[in-house]
Amino acid sequence: MDTLSQLGYGFGIALAPENLVFVFIGVLAGTIIGILPGLGPMSAIALMIPIAYGMDPTTAIIMLAGVYYGAIFGGSTSSILLNAPGVAGTVATSFDGYPMARKGQAGKALAIAAIASFIGGTVGVVLLMLIAPQLARLAVSFGPAEYFALMILGLTAVVSLAGNNLTKGLISAVAGVIIALVGIDSQTAVLRFTFDLPELYEGVEFLIVALGVFALAEVFTMLVRRSAGGAGGAVTSLRLSRRELGQMGPAAGRGSVLGFFTGVLPGAGATVASFLGYSAEKRLAKDQDTFGKGNIKGVAAPEAANNGAAVGSFVPLLTLGVPGSGTTAILLGALLVLGVQPGPMMLTERPEVFWGVVASMYVGNIVLLVLNLPLIPLFAKVLKTPKALLIPLVVVFCVVGVYGLSFSVFDLWLLLGFGVLGYLMRQNGFPAAPLILGLILGGLMEQSMRRALQISNGDWSIFLTKPISAALLALAVLSLAGPLIGMVRRHRSAASSKVTGGDNGGGGVEKQRR
Amino acid sequence: MFRAPRLITTAAAGASVVLLSTACGGSGGQNADGGWSPERPIELIAPAETGGGWDTLARTTSRVLEEEEMVDQNLQVENKPGGGGAIGWAHVANTPDDPHKLFVTSPPIILVPLSGNSDHTHEDFTPIAALATEYMAYVVPEDSPLESFEDLVEQVEEDPESISIAGGSGPGSMDHVALAGAVKAAGGDPKELNYVPHDGGGEALTSMVGGHVDAAVTGISEAAGMVESDDARMLATSAPEPTDAAPDTPTLQEEGIDFDFDIWRGVMGPGEMTEGQVAYYERLFADMVEQDSWKEETGNLGWEQSYMDSEEFGTFLDEAHAESGEILDEVGLGTEQG
């Protein structure tokens, strides 16, 4: 059978009335759960498993997959409207989505998110269908050394996330990496920075930091500012002009492909994908300075990337039987209980499950779009809530989200702590995005570096002798060199126009040291 | 006309006396046979997040018990993640005399305290029943030159740097102990092992199939798919006798290596339970593992039946504790505190 006829077979399954109903239920439930912070795709799927239990396995996985991409989309809604990312994969969406909402373009931002998600999902599904078996090879070709190089490349995004002050951006990123070190070290089982608190043994939950430094810090800022009125006046229509569509299209396209391939790699996932998508788009853009202030492309790229990655993460699950992320791990568990063993044999043994899922993803993405576009004006009304109501609402949102993760009061104190930290950082011009970037990539980077060195018995050349790793590292160096040289040049010309004052000052410090 | 209402009143009064007496019986914790029975909803704690092995065990257990209507009280699964289980254990240990809090358990209750990362050990709790088990597989890529577990141990002896072995959990945890114990029993030095910890058996296997490490140790069911597709080969399993999950693979015992290791799964309760309370739960779980729905669901998960009652389970735990402690000391990870 060739791909097309197999896909036709898949559509026959996906369009069965029963499956259609469940993909709809899945997407709807996922979107709603995803909007609530703390309840990401993982908890959304876990919550739906009792319902899936007892269903036909194909119908069940179709519904659970719907929950998955619904939840990722739902997360972007709270990211854009409240600066409170409900799902880790949508943190990058808030960088430009929230500024857009504050400018009164919430409807537009949500529409872009919906369309970009649709593009990301659809591109992902097409790629999944065409090259899934070959992609299994790509997934296994990434070992610890390759992951390390990929994380390094990801970390160079600091340059584009740091804003005006690279030094402060770097300080912020390093703080993020340090937070990632907290907990039991996975390579030696040694406790690090836990201060004898068992609550810290498993490290600091990413969402606590994100909600603290973004949402709570925003609340504190609003309180201090004491300005009257809603967040940004009227909510403009969600109609996009042709120019805007032209702007977001390519951005979403690039984000989709990048996101899909990142998602295929086990362990990388939607969060890393969305950050890579955002920073790649910013680097390519000619209007770089408007990023972070409400650039359409800054919403489209990470949204397309995280949905592309969600689809991509099905590749290792369906072709290798290996879950690529926490979410697909739960899906794997659900499938096993239903009596389906995903893995290399699935395509031949249970083709109806594989092709049913692929086809249902097409259907699900359309449902997602159809469901959400009409709801956008409703969601956007949140911003018209008077401040006196909105602020407590955001606080409740954060508290419920964090408490729901672990049912631990300790985490609420952590949330408050990170809120204060985020506020102080803002007051002193330290950007929060690099902190989040450092936190996400730092942990993965350290782990894969040490794993690689464990394999090579401490030989550092492993990072350069492996072709993929070497290529990624070279790319990282290049992407750093460009902006740095530019910065140095600008600095020089500024300095020389001030008659080498800076050099003398530097010399003075040297002398004092001696 | 007067009589009927009076009759009804009498009947109602009689009924309420009966109701009252049952209610009293309930609060006294006595059921018809004079044994104890739960008075409140039972909390079944999974000391981990949703989706992991403990969570699956807790939810499967509660689903079977509720569907077969085997408990009068509600049975709620509660996730208390953190500290590799330590947070959940501390939660149960805080109310040592509350028989309505149970938790699902497996080797980490032995291993985490042994590496010094928990304030509580298995001795602080009451073993209730072991329910199911799964065995480990020692796996290599299909094209590996290694043909048996002996070959692997030999290579470790000859040139320890030439062979790296992936596992799905941290050093001193299940996968590592299952590997180190087997190598030790085969006459090798477990300290020489280049064990590379991964996040989960899936990652360890991908790393191996991709050629980044030379071998892996994971649960049999995790490895089964890649073996079926000819990407990987099992050298041996850690089962005491050949298992249905991998009938063609020799056990370590069959290879002449005196070692077995199982990922047992069971239920424990707080420290101060009365005999009657233990007896109630023991009977409940003994009945549960006989249910068809239990057999089917655990079969799908690749788990094998291995029921043990409270006493057997307790003895088993003490033995496992002693054996694992020895292995951890051998690899230099034991921080035994008593």
Least confident span in A337-351, A433-447, B301-315: A337-351
A201 and B83: CB-CB below 8 Å? yes
Residue B81, chain A, CB below 8 Å: the answer is yes
Q: What is the pLDDT of residue A181?
A: 92
Q: What's the mean pLDDT in B215-221?
A: 93
What is the model's pLDDT at position A236? Answer: 61
ipTM: 0.76
The CATH number given to B134-237 is: 3.40.190.10
Residue A292 has pLDDT above 70, yes or no: yes
Count of other CB atoms within 10 angstroms of residue B8: 10
pLDDT score, position B33: 56
Q: Distance (Å, rounded) from C-alpha A263 to C-alpha A269?
A: 5
CATH number of B42-133+262-331: 3.40.190.150
Q: What is the pLDDT of residues A217-235, one digit of tens each?
A: 989 988 887 654 444 555 5
Residue A316 banded pLDDT, cuts 50, 70, 90: confident
In chain A, residues with a C-beta closer than 8 Å to the C-beta of B206 are 139-140, 266, 316, 320, 322
Instruction: Compute the half-sphere exposure of residue A474: CA atoms within 13 Å on the CB side of its CA.
Output: 8
- Please report which confidence band the pLDDT of residue B22 belongs to, taking 50, 70 and 90 as the band edges: very low
* pLDDT at residue number A237: 67
Q: CA nearest A196 in B: which residue? A: B117
DSSP H/E element including B305: strand B304-308
Residue B32 confidence (pLDDT) above 70: no
**Residue B202 pLDDT > 90, yes or no?**
no
Q: What is the pLDDT of residue B153?
A: 96
pLDDT of res. A404: 75
Q: Which of B55, B212, B333 to mutate to test the interface with A (most CBs of A within 10 A)?
A: B212
Average pLDDT score over chain A: 83
pLDDT at A265: 84
- pLDDT score at B259: 95
Quote the minimal CA–CA distance from B50 to chain A in Å.
Answer: 6
Which residues from B are below 8 Å from A42, CB to CB? 49-51
Q: DSSP letter for A289, please.
A: G
Q: What is the pLDDT at residue B98?
A: 93
What is the structure's pLDDT at A498?
53
Chains A–B, number of C-beta pairs less than 8 Å apart = 146
Candidates B206, B213, B231: best to mutate against A (most CBs of A within 10 A) is B206
Report phi then psi at A183, rounded to 5. 120, -170
Choose among B55, B173, B203: nearest Cβ to A266: B203
Mean per-residue pLDDT for A238-254?
A: 88
Contact A46 B203 (CB under 8 A): no
Does position A15 have pLDDT exceeding 60, yes or no?
yes
Sorting pLDDT into bands at 50, 70 and 90, what band is A38?
low
pLDDT at A496: 66
- Is residue A373 classed as helix, strand or coil in its secondary structure? coil
Q: Which residues have a Cβ under 8 Å from the Cβ of A23 and sit 6 or more positions away?
A: A14, A62, A63, A66, A360, A363, A364, A367
Q: What is the mean pLDDT of residues B218-227?
A: 87
User: Cβ separation of B202 and A323 shorter than 8 Å?
Assistant: yes
Same fold, B42-133+262-331 and B134-237: yes
pLDDT greater than 90 at residue B308: yes
The label of the residue with tokens 């070279």 reads: A474
Note the pLDDT tens digit of each residue in A84-112. 887 778 889 999 999 998 888 888 999 99
Whether B211 has a pLDDT exceeding 50, the answer reads: yes
Domain ranges of chain A: 3-494
Length of chain A: 514
Among B290, B292, B249, B47, residue whose Cα is nearest residue B135: B249
Chain A residues in contact with B211 (beta carbon < 8 A): 140, 143
pLDDT band at A500 (very low <50, low <70, confident <90, very high): very low
Judged by CB atoms closer than 8 Å, whether chains meet at B199 and A186 is answered as yes
CA distance B149 to B164: 14
For residue A343, list chain B residues with Cβ-Cβ distance below 8 A.
Answer: 224-226, 228-229
Q: How many alpha carbons fall within 13 Å on the CB side of residue B185?
A: 19
Contact B301 A336 (CB under 8 A): yes
B172 touches chain A (CB under 8 A): yes
Check CB contact under 8 Å for B87 and A198.
yes
CB contact under 8 A, B300 and A329: no
Residue whose tokens read 């001193």: B172
Average pLDDT of span B267-290: 95
> What is the predicted pLDDT for the residue at B10?
39
The pLDDT, as a whole number, for residue B322 is 94
Closest CA to A404 of B298, B219, B110, B78: B78
Residue of chain A nearest B213, judged by CA positions: A455
| Span B135-174, pLDDT tens digits | 999 999 999 999 999 999 999 999 999 999 999 888 888 9
A-contacting residues in B 53-72 (Cβ below 8 Å): 55-56, 59-60, 63
Domain layout of chain B by residue ranges: 42-133+262-331, 134-237
Residue of B nearest to A51 (CA): B63
Report the residue from B51, B164, B203 with minimal CB separation from A455. Answer: B164
Question: Is some CB atom of chain A closer than 8 A to the CB atom of B87?
Answer: yes
Q: Closest to A344 (Cβ–Cβ): which among B172, B229, B300?
A: B229
Residue B104 bridge partners (DSSP): B267
Helix (H) or strand (E) holding B216, with range, is: strand B215-219
Task: Note the pLDDT of residue B34.
Answer: 61
Mean pLDDT of A389-412: 84
Q: Judge whether B36 and B273 are in contact, CB under 8 Å.
A: no
pTM for the structure as a whole? 0.80
pLDDT class of B24 with cuts at 50, 70, 90: very low
Backbone angles phi, psi at A371, to 5 degrees: -70, -40
- Residue A350 or B137, more confident: B137
Chain A contact present for B325, CB below 8 A: no
Residues in contact with A62: Cβ distance below 8 Å, sequence separation at least 6, in sequence order = A14, A19, A22, A23, A26, A356, A357, A360, A364
